[in-house]
Every structure is written in C-alpha cells, then in structure tokens.
Chain A
Amino acid sequence: MIYDLRDRDVPMPLTVGGLIGAGVYALINGLWAPVLLTIALTHVADFNPKEKRLAFGLTLAAFSAIFQPEAALICALILGFWVLWEFSILGGADVKLLIAATLVLGNPIVLIPIAVSGGIQGVIASLQKKREIPFVASIFCGTLLFVVYPYF
C-alpha cells in the first residue's frame, strides 16, 4: 500500500508473493479449482489475439465452476477481475491482490467492503479534483474491515 501511494506501482515480489501464498493457503483449505483457474489465466494472458484469451478464460472458468460448484462464485469473481485487467480497467497489481484476498478469505462477500472503500476513495478524490486513485489502499482497507467486522 505504501509503495502504491508513493509510486502508483507495487513491486512484483509483493504481489506475486502474496498471490502464491494465497494460492497455497487456498489449496490447503480445499479451494483447488479457483487456484488452478488463477494459474491457467496467468498463462492464458500471453495468448494472442485478445478474443482467444477471453474465450479461453471464459471456458476455463466455466470448467472450474463445474468441477467445484461450491467455489463457482469465487471462480466467477476471479474471471471478472482478470477480464477487467484484460480491458485495462484495473491494474495488474490490484487484480493480483484482489485474487489473493478472495483466495485467502474464500468468501466473495469481501468484494463488498473493498468496493465500498473504493467508492468512498473515488468520491473523496473527485472532490479533490483528482483523476486517479491508488486502489491498493481500498483493497487493504476493505479486506481489513471484512476480517475485523465480526469482532465488533
């Protein structure tokens, strides 16, 4: 988050390390289909042209959901994040951290506090006449809120 606020760029070891750690944790917790989908999408991202990437991504997500129906929503979310990155709507660091948070928590509801945090950050930035925001801050705050909320 500190790197993102300063440089608008998160170092690769942090995001990739987080993603790998989250993947291992999710595997231990039985979420194998979303982990395999994430690995597959990482490779599909290098296919050309774009239509081929999207078709492969959609097919892989559908198969992941079919093979592990209880993780279907998580697979759909991962595909959604990846598609947003593919269309350059979200940055690569943000998408990797979003996927990591979803894999670790295993609950798609985490997206709600993250999205709300992003919305609040967006409103504040708009009022300050800023055009861009470091979304990693929203991911951090939203995930923290989701984790801490049950204790209040």
Chain B
Amino acid sequence: MALRFLKDNRGIESTEVALIIAVVVLVSYGAYRLLGQNIASIVTDVAGRI
C-alpha cells in the first residue's frame, strides 16, 4: 500500500495561492450570506416539485 496522501509532508504554498484562497473563501462566504436563504428556498421548491 503506497498511501501517497499520508506520506506527503509538504507544508509550503506560494503567496499567490494563499491570496487566491483568501479571496475565494471570503467571496464565497459573502455570496452565501447574501443568497443563502434564496438558494435554500429554491432547492426546497425543486425538491417539492420532484
């Protein structure tokens, strides 16, 4: 068994990746806070129709 995932011990990231992750997470959270209720009601509506 190779267990490639467990054996990988790299703990280094490029600065660009850190910045991109920060922006993506913050934008996603903001979108969720703004649209979360609407998305939930749409999903419930679709589930009800099925």
Identify the A interface with B (CB < 8 A): 3-4, 8-12, 15-16, 41-42, 45-46, 82, 85, 89-96, 111-112, 115-116, 118-123, 125-126, 130-136, 138
Contacts and interface: CB of A to CB of B under 8 A. Distances in A.
A136 B23 CA distance: 18
A12 B7 contact: yes
B25 interface: yes
Contacts of B9: 9-12, 15, 91-93
A10 B13 CA distance: 13
Interface residues of B, number: 26
A132 B26 contact: no
Interface in B21-48: 21-26, 29
Contacts of B21: 115, 118-119
B5 A130 contact: no
Main secondary structure on B side of the interface with A: helix
A113 to B, nearest CB: 10
Contacts of A135: 11-13, 18
B13 A41 contact: no
